[in-house]
Amino acid sequence: MTRMLHPQGTPASRLIFKAKRQPVIEEFSLSPLGENDVLLRTEFSVISPGTERAFLLAEPNTDPHEVGFPFAPGYSNVGRVIEIGSSVKHIQPGDMIATMTPHQSHSIVCVPELNGQHLGNVFDKMPHSQLGWKLPSSTTTENELSQIAAFMIATVSLYGIRIAKIDFGDHVTIVGLGPIGLIAGQLAMRAGATSVTGVAGDARLREAATQSGFDHVHKTMPTDYNPQSNFGCHIVIECTGRVESLIDTIEKCPQGATLVLLGCTRGALPDVNFYNLIQRKAITIIGAHQPTRTEPNYLERRVSLYRDARIVIEMIANGKLDIGPALGITSDIDQFQTVYESICNRELTGAVVFKWNEH
């Protein structure tokens, strides 16, 4: 097979969902390097298993379901700089950069210098998928890099915690202990929650929640809440995205609770009695879909995606956020077909780290 080359000779390959349950690796041509661009060779990219399973199976409320295949999965990875544009001064070859690009061997992005609350005029209107985040120079080991490669999954979790507006004394229940739920639980603790309870049917996930510091773990959502005996609000964060789980969660939400929909729901809720399940119990439901973030306003504590991702990277790098329990296996990218088959069959629970090597 003839390789498609970067104008300066770099071969590039990417992972594509060609059809339902058909992931493939294909070669592609990179764009020319612009003066503000950096060229990266991917070291690690991370699968968010619930999201990518839904897209590979073309479940409802996914692009493949709505508009069809092919689809380029992936949005959380780390690469090494191998070339810089003529106007780039703050990045050097060898630096490590986190990006939101899909699973691919090479990427071209811009890397803003963070200056207070402003990202610099050349970057203001660029999609986040074309931007990068420079990693601390102290981040060098494979374990550190693979954890930071999951930074965007953790950024989704952080957005859910921000939307929930957790305060000291609140009680938080995380329903669904995949990577997003496990990380959301840690962040809820740091936000001041008095107790954090995790709910998952899989014993492996409950064990991961215990390792992450959850106060309680259950197989099903508990119903023995007594709001009158506790100070603080009760906040339930639904992370599964599964219709049957969401129905059960709504039914078991305590009176006066806030329900945050952090997992993308793949389907519709049939025959939900809103009067009995929501109105009579005074349930507040908040949709936490990261692409619909409102414009940043620091006086109102509305934070940009770029800033939240920077916060997460710094927390992982300095040990204040442990991504380890949320990660599953590390696999060479050449094993992608086996990995995705296992994800489709729900055989893997944690986020999968792809190691690209010199692919």
- 35 and 66 fall within a common domain: yes
CATH number of the CATH domain containing 330? 3.90.180.10
More confident residue, 129 or 320: 320
Q: What is the pTM of this model?
A: 0.89
- 71 and 131 fall within a common domain: yes
End-to-end CA distance of the chain: 15
- 92 and 163 fall within a common domain: no
- 72 and 173 fall within a common domain: no
Mean pLDDT computed over 98-117:
82
- 239 and 145 fall within a common domain: no
Mean pLDDT computed over 218-240:
78
Of the pLDDT bands very low, low, confident and very high (cuts 50, 70, 90), residue 100 is very high
Query: Which residue blocks in the chain are alpha helix, DSSP H?
Result: 49-56, 63-67, 142-148, 151-164, 179-190, 203-211, 243-252, 274, 305-317, 336-344
55-89 pLDDT, tens digit per residue, is 999 999 999 999 999 999 999 999 999 999 998 88
Query: In this predicted structure, what is the pLDDT of residue 225?
Result: 62
- 76 and 160 fall within a common domain: no
Q: How far apart are CA 75 and CA 80, in angstroms?
A: 16
Give the rounded distance of the alpha carbon of 15 from its chain centre: 18
Q: Evaluate whether residue 203 is within a structural domain.
A: yes
- 20 and 102 fall within a common domain: yes
- 286 and 160 fall within a common domain: yes
Ramachandran area for residue 21 (φ above 0: left; ψ -120 to 50: alpha; else beta)? left
CATH number of the CATH domain containing 210? 3.40.50.720
Domain that holds residue 22: 13-150+323-355
- 98 and 206 fall within a common domain: no
11-51 pLDDT, tens digit per residue, is 799 999 999 999 999 999 888 899 889 999 999 999 999 99
Q: Evaluate whether residue 7 is within a structural domain.
A: no
Q: Evaluate whether residue 88 is within a structural domain.
A: yes
Q: How far apart are CA 265 and CA 257, in angstroms?
A: 20
Of the pLDDT bands very low, low, confident and very high (cuts 50, 70, 90), residue 267 is confident
Query: Which residue blocks in 253-349 are alpha helix, DSSP H?
Result: 274, 305-317, 336-344
Q: Evaluate whether residue 348 is within a structural domain.
A: yes
Last residue of a domain, one of 292, 313, 336: 292
Query: In this predicted structure, what is the pLDDT of residue 15?
Result: 97
- 130 and 118 fall within a common domain: yes
- Looking at the structure of the chain, the number of domains it has is 2
Query: In this predicted structure, what is the pLDDT of residue 233?
Result: 81
